[in-house]
Amino acid sequence: MFIPQTYSLAIILCVVTMLCWGSWGNTQKLAGKSWRFELFYWDYVIGILLFSVLLGFTLGSSGEHGRGFLADIRQAETGNIVNAIIGGVIFNASNILLVAAMAIAGMAVAFPVGVGIALALGVIVNYVFAPQGNATWLFGGVALIVAAIIIDAIAYKKHSASQKKVSGKGILLSVGAGILMSLFYRFVASSMSGNFEVPEAGKLTPYSAIFFFAIGVLVSNFLFNYIIMKKPFEGGPVSFSDYAKGSLGVHLTGILGGVIWNLGMSMSIIASGKAGFAISYGLGQGATLIAALWGVFIWKEFKGASRSVNMLIFYMFMAYLAGLALLVYAGA
């Protein structure tokens, strides 16, 4: 299977993760013009699963290092498979809340608050269980990112107040999504061998872990998303007959969103062998910066903002960039 051999390449893969995790939400925005997020999410989950299978039979089955995709699945112990699946279940619960928050409050708010909280808590959790990198620089970077989250929340509150559109529900959903999202990565990491090139017997390697993670996302979706369809956060209930009415383009947009997100997840997990789980996860969650850029400059979610709000947004971006730079330096 393919495994990065240098820290530099691992960082590049983490940057790919950042771009993917910060950009997949655009597919929801595109589909959301005529398509409820509860319906979009079924296609999104299908995209996650399809990409995990494709990746397993391509990069996961080539190269000279580690175990091949199918061989790894055959030797995996039940406990490790269950951990990867649990990671998928927790992620799915958090991501449904995040997508709902995006639909209500917009990308420029949902991502910085939700994913920012996930980054801060997730880095701490992953570092405690698998310490790798300089703790001072690592947590210094996390502190700057937390500051960016606070600045973004202040900017959003000021801008919303000026337009009389304060969405407390969107903020609350974002916070709940962030807390749950900080936990899923640790379960996937615990299912994997610490050495990808010579993996432990019974443990998973990145490609099989991603596959079982995707299974967890799919299975749990029949519970989580079904409940949301019947008891939506906003609007009336929707049904599977509504899903069947979607055009091919709308369905493909959702699937593309899942593929983009799982490309990011896969690169993060693959990079963790050289970068460590805390740094790999933390850099990937720099997606918040990418999503905020999309929200501000493409979707115009802060259109008409005052000069003071625009300055706060600028400070938020600067704090995020500085925090991400410290995360990279922590593992160098």
Phi first, then psi: what are they for 235, rounded to 5°?
A: 80, 180
If the chain, 332 residues long, is cut into consecutive pieces of 10 residues, what is the mean pLDDT of each piece?
A: 93 94 87 85 96 97 91 97 98 88 72 79 90 92 85 76 63 90 94 93 97 98 94 89 94 96 96 92 82 78 83 90 90 78
Residue with tokens 């703790």: 135
Q: Are 52 and 263 in contact (CB under 8 A)?
A: no
Determine which helix (DSSP H) or strand (DSSP E) holds 55, and give its type and residue range.
Answer: helix 37-57
Confidence at residue 53, expressed as pLDDT on a 0 to 100 scale: 98
Domain ranges across the chain: 15-331
Confidence at residue 108, expressed as pLDDT on a 0 to 100 scale: 63
Confidence at residue 170, expressed as pLDDT on a 0 to 100 scale: 81
Kindly provide the b/e burial profile for residues 78-109, where b requires at least 16 CB atoms within 10 angstroms of the residue's own CB.
eebbebbbbbbbbbbbbbbbbbbbbbbbbbbb
**What pTM, to 2 d.p., does this model score?**
0.87
Q: Give the 3-state secondary structure of 171-191.
A: HHHHHHHHHHHHHHHHHHHHC
3-state secondary structure (DSSP) of residue 52: helix
